[in-house]
Amino acid sequence: MTATAQFQAPLQDYPLFASTSIDEAREFVGNVFCPHRLTPSKHTTRLDAQMRHARVSDRSSLNFLKYGAQVTVEPGALQHFFLVQIQLSGNVNTRCGHQTENICAGDAAVLSPSEYVSMDWKPDSSMLIYRADRNLVEQKLSALLCDELSNPIVFETRMNHHTNSGAGWLRAARFLLDELEGNTGFLNYPNAAENFEENLILSLLYGQQHNYSHRLRNGTAKAAPAHVKRVEAYILANAVNAVSIEDLTHVSQVSARALFSAFRDFRGTSPMRYLRTVRLENVRRDLLDAPENSSVTEIACRWGFVQLGRFSGEYRLRYGELPSETLRRIS
């Protein structure tokens, strides 16, 4: 039996909506996931959309989705959740951050919340989608590393069902689907859903490549030294102010060389690059929450970005769009 044959026509007992309306599909899907653009191809006037939605716990769900037409789905950064999208039929050209993958039936895409996402669906495309809250995944990884995360988790986009780890995760998803469809009651036992949910996340963190994988696999799950944490706390509290390397070495109470070495070993970055990342994230948050008549220049300068050309380039590299596009898309 093929990987996709295992999942055909899933979640029949969990209908959410069926509609030919583009606006209605956008609203229902947005309520489960997040607000997004849904743009049909120029030859498409109506959909044949269906969605089924099964809640696993307060922090995760399993969903079936198809649009029945050629559409572009553009949520931008997901922000608050991870998605694992198992391709059941057709193919979807999937862009997540710097990665663009054509996901065909049998494989899956893992979408990370900090990365810019857009997808081109073919008319025959359908997916089984596992949604997990960002906090759930980040807390599990932090516990495994015995350390706080200095950067968002970014997974490789493609999950290949021909690999042991990919096939293993898909088997676990199949088991979850069977329990939801069979109504055997297993997930209703005390803590059963939460424990199974935790194992799914654990399998994803160990099996799917991401920017912390080397630390998990190389046994470097140990807490960062106190001087790294002091500097991180200082940066988070003072990112809106002028911050120099001299300020950071003073806060750390170690030499600049020791500070750079510790950040490289435990954070995979430098102290000043960490500062710039925090500022970029603050700019994006403010752009997303900006009132009318706000300007990119005003928000960027507030967070210390005075070379606007360089700032725009960095922002686009990280989020997949220009800051002006973020501001225009939300407003």
Any idea where the domains of the chain sit in the sequence? 5-216, 226-330
- Over residues 211-228, the mean pLDDT reads 77
- Over residues 200-228, the mean pLDDT reads 83
pLDDT tens-digit readout, 117-132: 999 999 999 999 999 9
Q: Kindly tell me if the per-residue pLDDT of 243 is higher than 80.
A: yes
Banded pLDDT at 6 (limits 50, 70, 90): low
Q: Kindly tell me if the per-residue pLDDT of 221 is higher than 60.
A: no
Is there a contact between 319 and 326 (Cβ–Cβ < 8 Å)?
yes
Q: Kindly tell me if the per-residue pLDDT of 276 is higher than 80.
A: yes
CB count within 10 Å of CB 180 equals 20
Nearest 5°: the CA angle 143, 146, 149 is 80
Tell me the two tokens of residue 304. 């210390």
Q: Kindly tell me if the per-residue pLDDT of 247 is higher than 90.
A: yes
Q: Kindly tell me if the per-residue pLDDT of 280 is higher than 70.
A: yes
Q: How high is the pLDDT of residue 330?
A: 47
Q: Where do runs of H (alpha helix) occur along 45-153?
A: 134-145
Which residue did the predictor score with more confidence, 225 or 101?
Answer: 101
Q: How high is the pLDDT of residue 321?
A: 75
| Residues sharing a CB contact under 8 Å with residue 165, sequence separation 6 or more, in sequence order | 203, 206, 207, 208
Q: How high is the pLDDT of residue 195?
A: 78
Q: Kindly tell me if the per-residue pLDDT of 61 is higher than 80.
A: yes
Q: Kindly tell me if the per-residue pLDDT of 308 is higher than 80.
A: yes
Banded pLDDT at 201 (limits 50, 70, 90): very high
What's the mean per-residue pLDDT of the chain?
88
Q: Kindly tell me if the per-residue pLDDT of 30 is higher than 50.
A: yes
Banded pLDDT at 183 (limits 50, 70, 90): low
Distance between the two ends of the chain, CA-based, in angstroms?
47
Q: Kindly tell me if the per-residue pLDDT of 9 is higher than 50.
A: yes
Q: How high is the pLDDT of residue 219?
A: 60
Q: How high is the pLDDT of residue 17?
A: 96
Q: Kindly tell me if the per-residue pLDDT of 143 is higher than 50.
A: yes
- Over residues 203-217, the mean pLDDT reads 89
For tokens 């922000």, name the residue.
79
Q: Kindly tell me if the per-residue pLDDT of 318 is higher than 80.
A: no
Which residue did the predictor score with more confidence, 288 or 75?
Answer: 75
Q: Which of 111, 113, 116 is nearest to 76 (CA)?
A: 116
Banded pLDDT at 331 (limits 50, 70, 90): very low
Q: How many residues does the chain have?
A: 331
State phi, psi for 128 to the nearest 5 degrees: -105, 125
Tell me the two tokens of residue 239. 């990112």
* Residue 42 C-alpha from the chain's centroid: 29
Q: How high is the pLDDT of residue 139?
A: 87
The domain defined by 5-216 folds into Jelly Rolls (2.60.120)
Q: Kindly tell me if the per-residue pLDDT of 96 is higher than 70.
A: yes
- Over residues 154-171, the mean pLDDT reads 90
Q: How high is the pLDDT of residue 130?
A: 97
Has domain 226-330 been given CATH number 3.40.50.300?
no
Q: How high is the pLDDT of residue 266?
A: 77
Q: Kindly tell me if the per-residue pLDDT of 5 is higher than 70.
A: no
| Residues sharing a CB contact under 8 Å with residue 25, sequence separation 6 or more, in sequence order | 17, 19, 38, 47, 49, 51, 67
- Over residues 49-54, the mean pLDDT reads 96
Banded pLDDT at 178 (limits 50, 70, 90): confident
Q: In what order do the strands lie in the sheet with 116-121?
A: 37-40, 71-77, 116-121, 91-96, 99-104
Rounded to whole angstroms, how far apart are CA atoms 182 and 199? Answer: 20
Partners of 38 in the β-ladder: 73
